[in-house]
Amino acid sequence: MEIEKTNIQNFIATSDIISLLNMSSGFLSILCSINNYFELSAILMIIAIMFDSTDGWVARKTNRNDSLGFGKNIDSLSDIVSFGVAPAVFIYTSINTTSIPLQILVILVSLLIVVCGVLRLTRYNVIADHVKTSDFIGFPIPGISFIIATYYLSGLYNSYLALILSIIVSILMISNVKYPKFSNIPLISISCILIILIILPIPTTLYSINIPALILLLFCLYYLIINLIK
């Protein structure tokens, strides 16, 4: 490749900018976790998921020419920030304990999230052009951010259950379990409305429980469990 053709503007497209917005949301979520703004951190993880759900659609609509794989790589690198490091830092910082054994466990679980996230994304990139399937192989990586974020925002957050959920989801990410891609338009529409209700400052709590967040959490847990049983 000629040196003149290695300018970044020759690679980046509109869909890549959306991937960078995904990554930016994940990075800001990390900063919020570090500074104990956990509600905002959780919301930013959900916003990152929204950007991640959009970049592929934009790439298809704009007929993105990605013969060199720039888009695939920037998408994966953004995902590991938003759906690997961000939820790991959230778990680590949100569980405040003076118990040394529990501190070690929290560190190990946080590391597990990042390691399984890297493995999940790397496997996806390796098999994408070689394995013909319409399903996800292993639980989709945005799911762990979605579960942790909605669980926290629901108002029912429990540190020990969060650790258990993180372990289970991390293992399922690198499993061989097939998860169908989302195609139920009514369910997607309802989920979008619920996400908007979470993000906007609209009072949607009942007895200190955030109803939209709880519904989204139950949706995601159902998706996680029902396909595992199948």
Q: Which of 43, 42, 132 is nearest to 89 (CA)?
A: 42
How far, in Å, CA of 25 to CA of 43, rounded? Answer: 9
Q: Which two tokens stand for residue 175?
A: 């499993």
pLDDT per position as a tens digit, 11-22: 888 888 999 999
pLDDT of residue 126: 87
DSSP 154: T
Question: Per-residue pLDDT for 76 more than 60?
Answer: yes
pLDDT of residue 3: 56
Question: Per-residue pLDDT for 1 more than 60?
Answer: no
Question: Per-residue pLDDT for 10 more than 80?
Answer: no
Could you tell me the pLDDT band of residue 4, with boundaries at 50, 70 and 90? Answer: low
Quick check: helix, strand or coil at residue 63?
coil
- pTM for the structure as a whole: 0.92
- What does the pLDDT average to over 41-49? 96
pLDDT of residue 2: 57
pLDDT per position as a tens digit, 207-219: 889 999 999 999 9
- What does the pLDDT average to over 130-149? 90
